[in-house]
Structure 1
Amino acid sequence: MLNEIMEMSDEDLFLKAQEIGSYKRKINTGPAIITGACLTQPHCNHCKWDSFKSGDHAFSQKNSLESVIERGKLMESIGVHRIFTATGWMGHTIPADYPLYIEALKAHTNMEVFGLFGAIDKESLKALQSAGMDGYLCGIESPNEDIYKKFRPGGDTLSDRLKTLYDMKALGLKVWSGFLVGLGETKEDVMKGLEILKDLEPESLSILPFTPYPFTNMMGENPANPLHWARTVAQAHLYMPNANIFSDSKVGFYGKFSELTGANGSYIFPRKE
């Protein structure tokens, strides 16, 4: 089945992906950042948060429960259905107060709440689930180990992330995953990545285009080819038709290509004036 999907023409592939997406509920999502701090050493070579920190030194500071609740209420007021609490990677065991942020958002909003803390151990997932967390977002960056290490030379490994994904599946949490496209992966790499994801029975997928950010080690790399990226998203959509497909590129350079994929999920990043 996957081989046939990979060989489909652009026209047939995108038409089918849009047909599948037309029956799905539209979902808006966005982040509530607990802290921009990160223990990964050396830092990820493509980390957009490092780029943000270069212009905003306060980005690494920890946000209070009150400010995260305020953020959640703002997100809900502008039509966000799902919020993900996010931090840099703080190790395999989460800080003890992270479940409090989940509890607070569940108590003060009606949104789904997901976590985004990198590869973490099963006990941490259980603690977050007990606090009311609906699901967990953990991408695999790349199914190709060499490309993964090019992105992430330190911190959690590809194996670590896969273990976290299978742990969350075993716990009955909603699985949200994906990978980046556009840094030399082969057709075989893409197929391997899609097969890994399908085995996880994901509730949601984010197949995102590699985008270089200023003041990162990979800022000189070319961004992902938009057609290659859109085809990969559409291929994922056909291969896993029950998953929600999220795109963070619905405007700008990739916007028109995103429309081809049938993605039903959008990222929203409101900023305070």
Structure 2
Amino acid sequence: MTDFLSELAARSLRREPLTREDALRVLDGEDELIDVVAAAARVRRHFFGRRVKLNTIINMKSGLCPEDCGYCSQRLGSVSEILKYSWIDPDQAAEHAASAVAAGAKRVCLVASGRGPGDRDIRRVEHTIEKIKDDSPDVEICVCLGLLGDGQADRLREAGAHAYSHNLNTSEAHYREICSTHTFADRVDTLRRAAHAGLSPCSGAIFGMGETSDDVVDLAFALRELDPDSVPVNFLIPFQGTPLGGRWELTPERCLRILALFRFVFPDVEVRLAGGREIHLRGQQALALHLANSMFLGDYLTSEGQPGADDRQLIADAGFVIEGTGERTLPDARHDLVALRRRGAGTDLPANA
């Protein structure tokens, strides 16, 4: 391992930020891939040991979205032959959640297509959270409903949601190339609303959409400024019938270097292997577990993942263990008993009263 990588790992262990030059070297430098992975794996082991947190997605409402995100099979104008349906019943969602929890999932992600929720949608999700908690009281519930309006994040937290997920997806400079119906700033605003309401912020990216290494670094640094607790790393699933349906530009090495970069940038944060890992990492999924400490179990929003039994076998074969519901995911240093007020008097957000 080079002196550069050894020093980079040491600095990450001290939670010191990377420079732009450091980040670009991780992505494009001449350091051997195995050395890059080894250096980042040292950071992963320090903060998360051999634990892998399992998460699952429940697609509450699929397709027919008015937004035009170029990567998404649910977008306006998509002709991808995906499942399309309106809101599923809360009891059905709870049944899916209980099955995932029994298979080892610690977090259930409730996702619905659309620009953002209306009041009726929030009520549906509140009822669904209640049903899930009746069966699985210890499970973490993350909600992903698009752009949030005033007071909606507070209602989700009060209903029992643990986290809110809203990916930045790509850099601000590249964002206009993948979406025209909302902006990068809109996404940042929603993530801040969720954090201010007391929801654990979850935000990550999708790679393989024509972004440059500078875009990757810009995005990583923009996310760092928002201080998320979990960062999903997706690799583009090129659905036929979408504008990005022909993009197959990722290699396993590129994916691993991106994951290593995100581990260095987010040393004590949950970095999650998300959509597209099977088709782009292929035989290197086990190596990716030395970088990410979390992964999705089973299927995604509109595409199938590998069987859950294969995921659990992958974890065991790589020498890792599934994180239990009683274990903390984040290290103690990221848990603070003093919650700074960021709503009410002196802000634009309603008080918690």
The interval holding the TM-score normalised by the smaller chain is: 0.7 to 0.9
TM-score by length of 2: 0.69
CA drift at 1:100? 1.7
Work out whether 1:74 is the aligned partner of 2:103: no
Taking only the aligned residue pairs, the percentage that are identical comes to 18
Match of 1:266 in 2: 295
Work out whether 1:186 is the aligned partner of 2:186: no
| 1:16 aligns with one of 29, 39, 52 | 39
| 1:65 aligns with one of 82, 86, 90 | 90
Work out whether 1:7 is the aligned partner of 2:34: no
CA drift at 1:167? 1.8
| 2:256 aligns with one of 230, 247, 255 | 230
| 2:229 aligns with one of 177, 197, 203 | 203
Q: Residues 122 and 256 of structure 1: is their aligned pair in 2 closer, same or farther, counting only changes over 3 Å?
A: farther
Alignment of 1:105-254 (within 5 A): 105-109=132-136, 110-145=138-173, 147-154=174-181, 156-248=182-274, 249-254=276-281
Match of 2:70 in 1: 45
Match of 1:91 in 2: 116
CA drift at 1:105? 1.7
Work out whether 1:35 is the aligned partner of 2:61: yes
Q: Residues 246 and 99 of structure 1: is their aligned pair in 2 closer, same or farther, counting only changes over 3 Å?
A: same
Instruction: Give the Cα–Cα distance (whole angstroms) in 2 for the partners of residues 106 and 160 of structure 1.
Output: 31
CA drift at 1:114? 0.2
- How many residues of Structure 1 are paired with residues of Structure 2 in the alignment? 268
Instruction: Give the Cα–Cα distance (whole angstroms) in 2 for the partners of residues 142 and 66 of structure 1.
Output: 35
Counterpart amino acid of residue 64 in structure 1: D
Counterpart amino acid of residue 56 in structure 2: G
For the 8 Å contact 1:208–1:229, the answer to whether it is kept is no
Counterpart amino acid of residue 292 in structure 2: A
Structure 1: segments with no counterpart, 5+ residues:
none
CA drift at 1:62? 1.8
Instruction: Give the Cα–Cα distance (whole angstroms) in 2 for the partners of residues 252 and 46 of structure 1.
Output: 16
Quick check: 73-82 or 248-257, which moved more?
A: 248-257
CA drift at 1:177? 0.8
CA drift at 1:104? 2.1
Structure 2: segments with no counterpart, 5+ residues:
1-17, 308-353
Instruction: Give the Cα–Cα distance (whole angstroms) in 2 for the partners of residues 13 and 56 of structure 1.
Output: 38
Quick check: 232-241 or 182-191, which moved more?
A: 182-191
Instruction: Give the Cα–Cα distance (whole angstroms) in 1 for the partners of residues 78 and 52 of structure 2.
Output: 29
For the 8 Å contact 2:122–2:156, the answer to whether it is kept is no
Instruction: Give the Cα–Cα distance (whole angstroms) in 2 for the partners of residues 126 and 16 of structure 1.
Output: 40
For the 8 Å contact 1:182–1:223, the answer to whether it is kept is yes
| 1:102 aligns with one of 122, 129, 143 | 129
Q: State the Cα deviation string for residues 146-169 of structure 1 (Å, max 9, x = none).
A: x32332232x32111101112222
Secondary structure in 1 matching 2:228: coil
**Which of these two proteins has the greater Rg computed from alpha carbons?**
2
TM-score by length of 1: 0.87
